[in-house]
Structure 1
Amino acid sequence: MKRLFTATTMLALLLACCALALASSGGPGLTADEALAKLKEGNMRYVAQASVAPHQDAARRHETATDGQHPFATILSCADSRVPLEIIFDQGVGDIFAVRVAGNVAAVDEIGTMEYGAEHLGVPLIVVLGHTKCGAVTAVVKNEPVTENIGQLVAPIVPAVKSVKSRFASASLDELINKSIEANVWQAVSDIYAKSPLLKKMAAAGKVKVVGALYDIDSGKVQWFGEHPSNASLLGK
């Protein structure tokens, strides 16, 4: 009996065949663009249900325990349990330097962690990853009552939401939330440059690349935004 293959099935098989070679290239020596390609390929495998879950065995644990960590990408993402970084990018132990916080905000703790990744670990790529249906952004858009600590936590989101509301005053609530989620990604990128002279200097010198992205918690796909629309201006070029 002949077996019919759909385009999705064939893509999954192709990605699976290439996965071992893709996963074997480690973090040290990768350029930012190579690191970005690695994340894109991993997400494609995940969406196509062709994940290979690399670097998750005892040998990898021993390697990183003995030789240290050499992650190829730093990802600032929301702490939302529906955004498990190593799974959605099909990576493993020692691959991703994860910085997770509600609303993927870039404040002191997050920026300090990213500075460590860039300066001490040599990570060439920083991804600010927002996601659909973000509770933190939604709370700010709706101006929901929160505790004092949560209020301080989501404070960096407020400028993005205010900007969206002023530009799209007639938009529906869902539209405001979606636009604010994307605007908050750019807000975090701006905050990284504004609050970290080190990362700004490294980005201006081409030693670090900062890009924005959005994860769809339903489809599993990552939409890649690239660098900030005003990247050159933010870096003082």
Structure 2
Amino acid sequence: MKKTLSCLVCIMFLLSAGCSVGKFFNCSKSSCPIMKKCLKKSDSDRSCPMMKKFAHKKAKPKPCPEKAIAMLKAGNARFISGKAMHPHTDHKSLLLAGSADQGNYAYATVITCSDSRVPVERIFDAGVMDIFVIRVAGNVCDVDEIGSIEYGLAHVRTPAMIVLGHTKCGAVTAVTHAFHGKSHKLERNIPPLIDNIEPAVKRAASKYSNLHGNNLIPHAIVENVWQSIEDLFMNSPVTRDLVKNGKVKVIGAIYNVATGKVDWMPETDVTQILKQVEKNPKRATNPYASSEKSDAHAH
């Protein structure tokens, strides 16, 4: 099976290199140096000429933040219209992923909920090495999530950062019901997770004091995205610097699980949150790991 795959890979290589079909089939595997070499290797071996071709393929320049967000918006438009192109999901993309640096390709970092109804690459019509994804219940930004985001922005060098909430979010729903006195027993590790959502629910309840229960949940979901962005800015000096220097754009969005549509939240509100955080004396100030107590995780 391995040799068969290698043979197919080499056929692709020879044809792409200009070898005619007739010439190829007149070339026996014992006499053709390329075939002889590749049949001895798996299709993941970099000594194979086909793999070398992919390994040395020059990556396209990263898009600017605005272009990266436009690519996500265009991908979602294709997804909801039934015209998805499913880019970078073929065998060629897998071969490239085995030899390339994702930092030369990924154009967005997305933190979203673990909910199975939110298939990130699908809804943005993206593929292998397109999006650096962080998933956690309630799309909260706590220590582990922020560390992952910093890796996506500073090391994978994605120019866009999306905090993606979604309708029917179970985590936000649970916190909202608990806020109105309808709580139930939770497994031991869930409370420290959802306590990041509580400020958002309280803010939604304050803004929409006439709403209760299920009627408040959609507003709490929106506030939870804003809360995650605030928590990110409060605890990640690197993210703040990248945004202020124009290298990264942070934006919030809500995915509708019933329609597939992503609704984008105002970028001006993100700018306002960043300005407020910059004035907050409790914000983290050291961009690099240290043991200083003054730079502990801020809430």
Q: Does 1:236 align with 2:269?
A: no
User: In the alignment, what sits opposite 1:166?
Assistant: 206
Q: Does 1:209 align with 2:244?
A: no
Question: Any stretches of 5+ residues in structure 1 without a counterpart?
Answer: 1-25
User: How big is the shift at 1:198?
Assistant: 1.0
For residues 1-237 of structure 1, the aligned pairs below 5 Å read 28-69=61-102, 70-143=105-178, 144-145=183-184, 146-227=186-267, 229=269, 230-234=272-276, 236=278
CA–CA separation in structure 1 for the residues paired with 2:266 and 2:91? 35
Instruction: State the one-letter code of the partner of 1:206.
Output: G
CA–CA separation in structure 2 for the residues paired with 1:94 and 1:232? 29
Work out which of the two has the higher radius of gyration on C-alpha atoms and give 1 or 2. Answer: 2
User: In the alignment, what sits opposite 1:6?
Assistant: none
TM-score (norm 2): 0.68
Residue deviations 1:179-214 (CA, integer Å, cap 9, x gap): 000000000000000011111111111111100000
RMSD of aligned C-alpha atoms? 1.5
User: How big is the shift at 1:174?
Assistant: 2.3
User: How big is the shift at 1:89?
Assistant: 0.6
Task: Please tell me whether the aligned partners of residues 164 and 179 of structure 1 are also in contact (alpha carbons under 8 angstroms).
Answer: yes
Q: Quick one: structure 1 residues 228 and 140, their matched pair in 2 at CA, closer, same or farther if it must change by over 3 Å?
A: farther
SS of 2:128's equivalent?
coil
SS of 2:70's equivalent?
helix
User: How big is the shift at 1:130?
Assistant: 0.4
TM-score (norm 1): 0.85
Task: Please tell me whether the aligned partners of residues 160 and 187 of structure 1 are also in contact (alpha carbons under 8 angstroms).
Answer: yes
User: Higher relative CO (CA 8 A, sep ≥ 6), structure 1 or 2?
Assistant: 1
Q: Give the fraction of aligned pairs with identical amino acids, expressed as a percent.
A: 43
CA–CA separation in structure 2 for the residues paired with 1:188 and 1:105? 6
SS of 1:128's equivalent?
strand
- Number of positions where the alignment pairs a residue of Structure 1 with one of Structure 2: 212
Q: Quick one: structure 1 residues 232 and 103, their matched pair in 2 at CA, closer, same or farther if it must change by over 3 Å?
A: closer
Instruction: State the one-letter code of the partner of 1:107.
Output: D
User: How big is the shift at 1:67?
Assistant: 1.4
Instruction: State the one-letter code of the partner of 2:230.
Output: S
Task: Please tell me whether the aligned partners of residues 60 and 93 of structure 1 are also in contact (alpha carbons under 8 angstroms).
Answer: yes
Question: Any stretches of 5+ residues in structure 2 without a counterpart?
Answer: 1-58, 280-299
CA–CA separation in structure 1 for the residues paired with 2:64 and 2:163? 18
